[in-house]
Structure 1
Amino acid sequence: MEQVIGVIGGSGVYDLSGLEGAEWLTVETPWGEPSDQLLTGRLDGLRLVFLPRHGRGHVHSPATVNYRANIDALKRLGVTDVIAVSACGSFREDMAPGDFVFVDQFIDRTTGRASSFFGTGCVAHVSLAHPTCARLSAACATAAEAAGVRVHRGGTYLAMEGPQFSTLAESRLYREVWGCDVIGMTNMPEAKLAREAELCYAPVAMVTDYDCWHPGHAAVQVTDILRVLGANADAARRMLRGLPARLGQRPDPCPEGCDRALETALITAPDRRDAGLLARLDAVAGRVLR
């Protein structure tokens, strides 16, 4: 299987220059419209598909992003590995604005988002014990370090519903009691859906602020975040340009098991599966349903 990298660009990352044969494509999915068209091309021979999570011009809030359509569209274009870039706040003094945190765990506090492709008529339960791909994350972290970014390998990401930022009480709870490292609004249910679609998923959390727990950041302001976003976006692009040399040949199968997540997940008897839902699952789960 050809290695195809999907990049989901978060706040501040709405395009990707330097691709050979670059072309914006409209992709239809049974889950509705993705956030935007998808940019396809090659980077030093590596096939790459880019999708701005919030749409060009930042038109979608974290709660209105169609996460199912985004993951389905990437899968339809042959993506095997997803690098999810996003802005985040930090709960740790040493994880400073401008740093990249390659998180490996999540606590999901989102409430109003469709978080699964499966449901009545075809039930599946995938494992999320290790929700990210260590192989892909390691390659991204190495590329980020080579690009001059201060990197933290590992950490817990608190996914909040938003769009409001945290209260001080929430910020202290997540930091002091739950032991979270960063906070953001977009990696869930994205990581869950990527696992259901059997895609390797590596989140890149780019720190923009210290949230409101920090005495010097008593109230998080968008204007403050925007000052850091531009530099973070440039660093993310440098990281991505260094990836082709560090990914090499994609192991088949993935040593983390990402590409086989559905093999033991389906529970609905074949003769009781809903034909309509199966048709919608053709891209994300066709490998195990055919």
Structure 2
Amino acid sequence: MAPKIAIIGGTGVYNPDILSDVQEMIVENVYGKAKMAKGTYQGKEIIFLARHGATHSLPPHLINYRANIRALKEMGVERVLATAAVGSLNETMAPGSFVLVDQFLDFTKNRISTFFDGGEQGVTHTDMTNPYCPQLIKVLAQEGQNLPITVHQGGTYVTAEGPRFETPAEIRMFKMLGGDVVGMTSVPEVVLAREAGLCYATIGMVTNFAAGISPTELSHQEVLDVMSENSANLSKLLMKTVENMPEERTCKCGIAS
């Protein structure tokens, strides 16, 4: 039986206490190699993919997003739960809370963000009215209500190129345009997932207020500290969602165009 669910995130999201029968593997396709692990939870097979590599060695602008998403598709995955550390532009979305984003603004510059390059792939213009799966967001929100955490249902994710943090001027611009949180990985990952016909949701873990909003200068250590404090809650949210995921997909994510 092929694994239907994948989790994309950091190495702290899964451990031997959560998944059993874990097998490491490398899946190769026309776009490159994707390293992942396959395990079992509550009788369901799950794929885990460390977006930045096992040792967080890949910066966001150099991740091979196409190889990763194509590998998940070829493994039989239908649903993807992605995790991301984000900075908040919205004072109501405080550090330590979670945001189930439903829209994005793309400010990346140098990334290949489509499978459709013409030629054999053809030219396809994929609908992005609902880039993040409404069904997955609903299940995540329901499970979040049963945990001692704050979960915001809905929000706009601004994807910056990175790996540097944003300037206060950029943050002011993003906020004026309607952004709620800022990160460096949702695009092109969400776009490629939609092109591949996968259900995709991002759980944004707010680690800090963004530059100019925060009273102090940002540091990568600050992000790591909040992630460490909240990793157990994130794991609980992910696993309860996996456990109670409906078998049938009722969304339109499987229609790529």
Regarding TM over 0.5, the answer is yes
Work out which of the residue numbers 246, 252, 256 in structure 1 matches 2:251.
256
**Contact 2:86–2:206 under 8 Å retained in 1:** yes
Unaligned runs of 5+ in 2: none
Is the alpha carbon distance of 1:63 and 1:108 closer, same or farther for their aligned partners in structure 2, counting shifts above 3 Å?
A: same
Aligned to 1:284: none
Superposed displacement of residue 198, structure 1? 0.2
1:49-69 deviation digits (Å, cap 9, x = unpaired): 100000111010000100000
1:234-254 deviation digits (Å, cap 9, x = unpaired): 221111221244213223xxx
Aligned to 1:203: 202
- 1:248, 1:120 → 2: CA distance? 36
Q: What secondary structure sits across from 2:194 in the alignment?
A: helix
* Amino acid of the structure 2 residue aligned with 1:144: G
Superposed displacement of residue 16, structure 1? 3.7
Work out which of the residue numbers 226, 237, 240 in structure 1 matches 2:238.
240
1:103-122 to 2 correspondence within 5 Å? 103-121=101-119, 122=122
Q: What secondary structure sits across from 2:23 in the alignment?
A: strand
RMSD: 1.7
- 2:113, 2:47 → 1: CA distance? 23
Q: Greater Rg, structure 1 or structure 2?
A: 1
* Amino acid of the structure 2 residue aligned with 1:117: F
- 1:98, 1:157 → 2: CA distance? 17
1:103-142 to 2 correspondence within 5 Å? 103-121=101-119, 122-142=122-142
Superposed displacement of residue 192, structure 1? 0.4
* Amino acid of the structure 1 residue aligned with 2:141: A
Q: What secondary structure sits across from 1:243 in the alignment?
A: helix
- 1:22, 1:246 → 2: CA distance? 21
Superposed displacement of residue 232, structure 1? 2.5
Q: What secondary structure sits across from 2:166 in the alignment?
A: coil
- 2:199, 2:245 → 1: CA distance? 13
* Amino acid of the structure 2 residue aligned with 1:257: K
**Contact 1:13–1:52 under 8 Å retained in 2:** no
Superposed displacement of residue 229, structure 1? 1.2
1:79-101 deviation digits (Å, cap 9, x = unpaired): 10001101000011121111110
Superposed displacement of residue 145, structure 1? 3.2
- 1:245, 1:60 → 2: CA distance? 30
**Contact 1:104–1:132 under 8 Å retained in 2:** yes
Superposed displacement of residue 125, structure 1? 1.0
1:180-191 to 2 correspondence within 5 Å? 180-191=179-190
TM-score, normalised on structure 1? 0.83
1:154-191 deviation digits (Å, cap 9, x = unpaired): 0000000011111111111111x112100000000000
1:234-278 deviation digits (Å, cap 9, x = unpaired): 221111221244213223xxx3210122xxx3xxxxxxxxxxxxx
**Contact 2:81–2:238 under 8 Å retained in 1:** no
- 1:245, 1:14 → 2: CA distance? 15
Q: What secondary structure sits across from 1:28 in the alignment?
A: strand
Work out which of the residue numbers 83, 86, 89 in structure 2 matches 1:88.
86
Q: What percent identity do the matched residue pairs reach?
A: 39
1:17-96 to 2 correspondence within 5 Å? 17=16, 18-34=18-34, 37-96=35-94
**Contact 1:14–1:56 under 8 Å retained in 2:** no
- 1:196, 1:94 → 2: CA distance? 33
Q: What secondary structure sits across from 2:179 in the alignment?
A: coil
* Amino acid of the structure 1 residue aligned with 2:209: Y
* Amino acid of the structure 2 residue aligned with 1:65: I
Superposed displacement of residue 215, structure 1? 4.6
- 1:215, 1:204 → 2: CA distance? 22
- 2:168, 2:149 → 1: CA distance? 29
* Amino acid of the structure 1 residue aligned with 2:67: A
Aligned to 1:99: 97
Unaligned runs of 5+ in 1: 266-290
* Amino acid of the structure 2 residue aligned with 1:157: Y
TM-score, normalised on structure 2? 0.93
